[in-house]
Structure 1
Amino acid sequence: MTPQTGEPAGGGALDTLPAEHRGRLMALAHEAAFPSTTRIFEEGDEADRFWIIRSGTVALDVHVPGRGRTVVETIGRGALLGWSWLCPPRHWHLGAESRGPVLAWEFDAAAVRSLCAERPDLGLALVTVVAETIGDRLRATRTRLLDLYGPPGSPEGGAGP
């Protein structure tokens, strides 16, 4: 996607939005770059922005007591990074770290929520994209945690504790 046209870059989270909505949303985008191994956000911190990844990969992790951070999913080009900005209390549900250099479009959450309030049709379309992302992340997190901590040899997988 380009912020000037809002045209999709291919395979992106916002590609399903109508071109007019994409264009309005992309008008709020700013370029962001994260060097390798940068902590982009921490679980529990305030969620005041989100990103669409243009290149590179980001590991999403959850804090597991007694074990530290556990990567539950790695996302890349076109993915929506961050959804916790949408619903109160607006704190990150996961942590995120760049796995190499990452380029992204960054969005100020308050500005996007304001745009959605002005344009409910855009808001509904964007909420649908975010809801799909939440579902995907929940499934990935559940699968990864069952894989890591489920009983050995169980249908859920698991290497055991």
Structure 2
Amino acid sequence: MTSTTTRAAALPAEHRARLMRFARETSFDMGARLFQEGRHADRFWIIRTGTVALDLHVPGRSAAVIESLGHGELVGWSWHFPPHVWQLGAEAASPVRAYEFDAEAVRTLCGEDSEFGRAVAVWVGGVVAHRLQAARIRLLDLYAPYGSGGR
């Protein structure tokens, strides 16, 4: 986990407070799938407690766990970018309590308030960059002859 992917580090307090107005508390049992790669992305979560494993389908193999997310981290970014299709899968690695957000409602607010929209875009963009790097390193560790090189 890195602070660049957490809710607290990413959004200024005023935008964070606005986002939290859309929050709905939810929970997942260990082993529950939050979403599946390739399906419609219509919501996202911020973890309150527990751990969520992000995974990537690898043809001919079991799904590769790319990263584990915990307290304060954003689960899901595909909701923010058309065509709004999950690029990864996610599963509760332990019991999880989270804030759930309706993606369409948040996107609408982003369109109505450009300052809020920019803050959310910077936040989500930072998460995407981090997840891309995490996926690269994990896949090299799993499948490259010499791993990721231990960076």
TM-score (norm 1): 0.86
Within 5 A, what are the aligned runs for 1:1-161?
13-15=6-8, 16-151=10-145, 154=146, 156-157=148-149
How far apart, in 2, do the equivalents of 1:123 and 1:38 lie? 31
The higher radius of gyration belongs to 1
The CA deviation at 1:70 is 1.1
Q: Does the CA-based 8 Å contact 2:140-2:147 persist in structure 1?
A: no
The CA deviation at 1:68 is 2.4
Listed as ranges, the gaps of 5+ residues in structure 1 are: 1-10
Higher relative contact order (CA 8 A, sep 6+): 2
Q: Does the CA-based 8 Å contact 2:141-2:147 persist in structure 1?
A: no
Q: Does the CA-based 8 Å contact 1:51-1:81 persist in structure 2?
A: yes
How far apart, in 2, do the equivalents of 1:18 and 1:72 lie? 28
Partner deviation per Cα, 1:102-127 (whole Å, 9 max, x = no partner): 00000000000011111110110111
Q: Does the CA-based 8 Å contact 1:55-1:104 persist in structure 2?
A: yes
TM-score (norm 2): 0.92
Partner deviation per Cα, 1:6-41 (whole Å, 9 max, x = no partner): xxxxx6722232222111110000001001110110
SS of aligned partner of 1:141: helix
SS of aligned partner of 2:60: coil
Alpha-carbon spacing, 1:142–1:18, altered in 2? closer, same or farther (3 Å): same
SS of aligned partner of 2:71: coil
Q: Identity, % of aligned pairs?
A: 55
Q: Output the aligned Cα RMSD.
A: 1.5
How far apart, in 1, do the equivalents of 2:140 and 2:12 lie? 37
SS of aligned partner of 2:80: coil
The aligned amino acid for 2:27 is A
Q: Does the CA-based 8 Å contact 1:17-1:125 persist in structure 2?
A: yes
May I ask how many residue pairs the two structures share in their alignment? 146
Q: Which residue does 1:7 correspond to in 2?
A: none
Task: Give the number of the structure whose residues are more often helix, by fraction.
Answer: 2
Q: Does the CA-based 8 Å contact 1:150-1:157 persist in structure 2?
A: no
How far apart, in 1, do the equivalents of 2:70 and 2:117 lie? 24
The aligned amino acid for 1:105 is Y
SS of aligned partner of 2:94: coil
How far apart, in 2, do the equivalents of 1:32 and 1:149 lie? 36
Listed as ranges, the gaps of 5+ residues in structure 2 are: none
